Structure 1
């Protein structure tokens, strides 16, 4: 019985160490238009709503942020896409961003709208950006 327990603990500890070697890198999708370069560009056009539970408040659900992201190919506008950023939509959003990010950024680990709301603090609409974590 001790041997089985030791084997299980060994496998568990090896899997934990395997996770710690992965460092996320981040890319920001901002509201700034930088269309000088060639290739696909994503720009945060607008935050339609932010119903995420503010820090310092107890909420029944975590909430979500609805955003509009503009897609450009070089200087040419392609389309606007409305996305709902929440835990339940993570896979859908991940698949959408993978279509437009560079090959080195396609192993997405997180998608967040920043800044996160705080109780009693109004967020300036121009301060928002989308932060995408990925593993190289």
Structure 2
């Protein structure tokens, strides 16, 4: 009986030691910038060159568009899919035709999602243009 209690105590001590040392050695690393850029829809922007998104980078990227397209893209301001991604912050925005309307996305990765959900995309663009118009007033 005494040996059975000792064995249980030793087993509990060993288990606690293993758990305590295992917890210290197997902690998850803090989230990196790369893991923070994976969006809920699975679109990972780490494969793209983002630059610092400074005004000069955006201006250079937007200058690659025709004057008419640049005016449309500036009115939209953000990607129709990743609506926190400033158009021109990665490269020249891509122009899409969604149900006959011009829509801009930040990268090729967003193109398929924008075309897959045209009504949602157009609603997002309408909202972005309205918000951008309000911010200028």
Q: TM-score, normalised by structure 2?
A: 0.25
The structure with the larger Rg is 2
Structure with bigger RCO (C-alpha 8 Å, 6+ apart) = 1
The structure with more helix, counted as a fraction of residues: 2
